[in-house]
Amino acid sequence: MSFIIRCTDCGHEVVYHPLSNNCPQCNSQWREVVYDFEQAARALAQELPRRRFNLWRYREVLPIKNPIPELFMGEGGTPLIRAVNMGMMLGNMNIYIKDERQGPTASFKDRQAALTISTIKEAGLTEMVAASTGNVAIANSAYAARAGIKLWAFVTSLVPEVKMREIALYGSQVIKVTGSYDQVKQIAAEFAEKRGLFHDTGARAVTAVEGMKTIAYEIAEQLTEELGPREGTLPGQLRWRTPDWYIQAISGGLGVIGVAKGFREMKQMGIIDKVPGMIAIQAEGCAPMVQAWKLNLEEAAPVKNPKTHIETLATGTPGRSYQFLRKQMQNDGGLFESVTDEEAFRAMHVLAKMEGISSEPAAAAAFAGLFKLIHAGIIKPTDVVVVNCTGHTMPAEPLVLGNGWTRDVVLPQDQKPAQEEEGLLAALNRVAPDRFPRVAIIDDTADARRLVRRILQSQGDFTIFEASNGMDGLELVQREHPDLLILDLMMPEMDGFAVLDALRSNSDTAQIPVIVSTAKELTSEEKSRLQGQIQALLQKGDFMSDEFLEEVKALIH
Ligand SMILES: *Cc1c(COP(=O)(O)O)cnc(C)c1O
Ligand SMILES: [Zn+2]
């Protein structure tokens, strides 16, 4: 589908590239994806009946050329569940729960991750950085594992251990930072910048916003199924229903910004006739947006020391997200409200007891907000309400991971800015030294290269070079002098034997250890050709990742 990135500040348009975070004209980091909406509306009306119910069904309004089926895990397409018992209790029979727990990693961050990882894989990148209060890193880690992408996950030390373990379990490097979430974001940004890596910047990342907006498309489509088509709808026409309210707990604001964009797009395409009021719920101990909203301020002052046990909601610096959301609410209705931790925990219990839905505290905060606004008479008994319910991570078993799966960064406290800067860089160098062991992979099959890359990057730090044929591979080894070469034998034109002969006959490369990987059983003649030339033999389709990794580590150290 054709799309373009437009700068929110100056309107300048560019073609998307994941490594470019700023508008080339005015340097703004706030951009959005724009589509040919007329064409998209026509295509959707025609294609939707044939497509499965997952987020890729809206691909005409997603910033990807071709969705990548190998990465699919059932992202999007979550159920919309009517809350009958709770509805009876609260006197509103039109409360719907958008059950985002049913995504691959049990939070709505799966949408962001599925789209983000797909686009950076499409662009050929193999490493990325994300700062997270937990769920973003979990979702990105799962998709990164499938895509052969290494994720550096920066989290605050407040994130529950079970979540950190889950991130590590997927093979990402957890970087546990003792500091506020806002500091974590800063350190992650510097790390990404220093290493030239893709960085998922939340509300400023266009793929994150686009992923989130699919929630809006699904809700409109599902409500139409639930309540029947709107009056006067002709067969084959997309005329969907929208709720009166959409409620979600917010931290940085990405989710609601994305969902609102989805509704606005549908309105622009004539698919819906109104954008629902967005209701953003914050935890009382960290509610900068709510405070600013209630005082009718244009800017929200940061909360320096968030005081909430709900770490997922602990973004103290709202930045421009507040302004975008405020404008949204002023234009189409909606509001900000806060709830206490106790109210959230109580709502969590109610939701589980009354509806059989076990949520995490952050999601429960949205339900506490629903209760509060119904009691206040702001949400009326006949209003149609959709609440985002998300996040329910199973703990990763401590014994599976063993020790040493985080790297700890303790930021210097109470120091002058200059010293703080130095401390930060020193800390980053401990997280990842400038030089990792260097491994070259020569294999003509992309899948095989990805497998080896994934094994290496998921359980250790390596700088990885890849070549897809013997000639390029030989040149690569001569240029880069890797500490280890992993070499495929069967390749067209220059095969592994020839590469090996060339390496061994050149004094410059003769000493580089080589692991040969092969898909077929070797003849005795072939075996004797390799005798004394290689350090290990790897039978493709018959090896375990950890044994292979031990071999690699033994050869390098
Ligand atoms: C991420 C998250 C939020 C906050 O979302 P933002 O988009 O950062 O505002 C709320 N609840 C849960 C469960 C989350 O995972
Ligand atoms: Zn600009």
Give the count of alpha carbons within 13 A of 409, CB side only.
27
Q: Which secondary structure element, helix H or strand E, spans residue 456, and what is its range? A: helix 446-459
Q: Which of 115, 110, 158 is nearest to 136 (CA)?
A: 110
d(CA 7, ligand 2 centre) in Å: 5
The residue range of the domain holding 499 is 427-556
Among protein residues, the one with the nearest Cα to ligand 1's atom 3 is: 250
Let me know whether 406 and 467 are in one domain.
no
List the CATH number of the domain containing 481: 3.40.50.2300
Q: How confident is the model at residue 219, as a pLDDT?
A: 98
Q: How confident is the model at residue 397, as a pLDDT?
A: 59
484-488 vs 334-339, strand pairing mode: unpaired
Domain count, the chain: 2
Let me know whether 498 and 405 are in one domain.
no
- Residue 105 CB less than 6 A away from ligand 1: no
Residue 313 CA: nearest ligand 1 atom is: 4
Q: Which secondary structure element, helix H or strand E, spans residue 34, and what is its range? A: strand 31-35
Ligand with the closest atom to the CA of 22: 2
Question: Is the Cβ–Cβ distance between 251 and 289 less than 8 Å?
Answer: no
How much is the pTM? 0.89
Let me know if residue 144 belongs to a domain: yes
DSSP string, 342-364: HHHHHHHHHHHHHHS----HHHH
- Residue 257 CB less than 6 A away from ligand 1: no
127-132 vs 150-156, strand pairing mode: parallel
- Cβ–Cβ contacts within 10 Å for residue 352, how many? 13
Let me know whether 405 and 526 are in one domain.
no
Can you tell me the distance from the alpha carbon of 119 to that of 67, in angstroms, rounded to the nearest whole number? 8
Let me know if residue 221 belongs to a domain: no
Let me know if residue 143 belongs to a domain: yes
Question: Is the Cβ–Cβ distance between 516 and 496 less than 8 Å?
Answer: yes
Which residue among 410, 435, 460 closes a domain? 410
**Residues, beta carbon < 5 Å, ion ligand 2:** 7, 9-10, 12, 23, 25-26, 28
Let me know if residue 291 belongs to a domain: no
d(CA 438, ligand 1 centre) in Å: 38
List the CATH number of the domain containing 138: 3.40.50.1100
Q: How confident is the model at residue 412, as a pLDDT?
A: 72
Q: Which secondary structure element, helix H or strand E, spans residue 57, and what is its range? A: none
Which residue among 369, 384, 410 closes a domain? 410
Question: Measured between alpha carbons, how far is residue 537 from residues 129, 513, 517, 546 in Å?
Answer: 34, 12, 6, 15
- Residue 134 CB less than 6 A away from ligand 1: no
Question: Is the Cβ–Cβ distance between 365 and 338 less than 8 Å?
Answer: no
Among protein residues, the one with the nearest Cα to ligand 1's atom 2 is: 312
Residue 257 CA: nearest ligand 1 atom is: 7
Let me know whether 128 and 193 are in one domain.
yes
Question: Is the Cβ–Cβ distance between 343 and 309 less than 8 Å?
Answer: no
Give the count of alpha carbons within 13 A of 197, CB side only.
20
DSSP string, 291-325: HHHHTT-SSPPP-SS---S-GGG-----THHHHHH
- Residue 255 CB less than 6 A away from ligand 1: yes
In tens digits, the chain (557 residues) has pLDDT values of 589 999 999 999 999 999 998 999 999 999 999 999 999 999 999 999 999 999 999 999 999 989 999 999 999 999 999 999 889 888 899 999 999 999 999 999 999 999 999 999 999 999 999 999 899 999 999 999 999 999 999 999 988 888 999 999 999 999 999 988 889 999 999 999 999 999 999 999 999 999 999 999 999 999 999 999 998 888 888 999 999 999 999 999 999 999 999 999 999 999 999 999 999 999 999 999 999 999 999 999 999 999 998 988 999 999 999 999 999 999 999 999 999 999 999 899 889 888 999 898 999 999 999 999 999 999 999 999 999 998 775 555 566 677 788 888 887 776 555 566 667 777 777 777 778 999 999 999 998 898 899 889 887 889 999 999 999 999 999 999 999 999 999 999 999 999 999 999 999 999 999 999 988 889 999 999 999 899 999 888 777 777 888 899 999 87
Residue entry with tokens 């094994």: 455
Question: Measured between alpha carbons, how far is residue 436 from residues 133, 439, 496 in Å?
Answer: 28, 9, 25
Q: How confident is the model at residue 411, as a pLDDT?
A: 79
d(CA 20, ligand 2 centre) in Å: 13
Of 101, 110, 289, 312, the residue with max ligand 1 atoms within 8 A of its CB, to mutate for a pocket test, comes to: 312
- Angle at CA 253, nearest 5°, toward 299 and 313? 105
Which residue among 376, 410, 444 closes a domain? 410
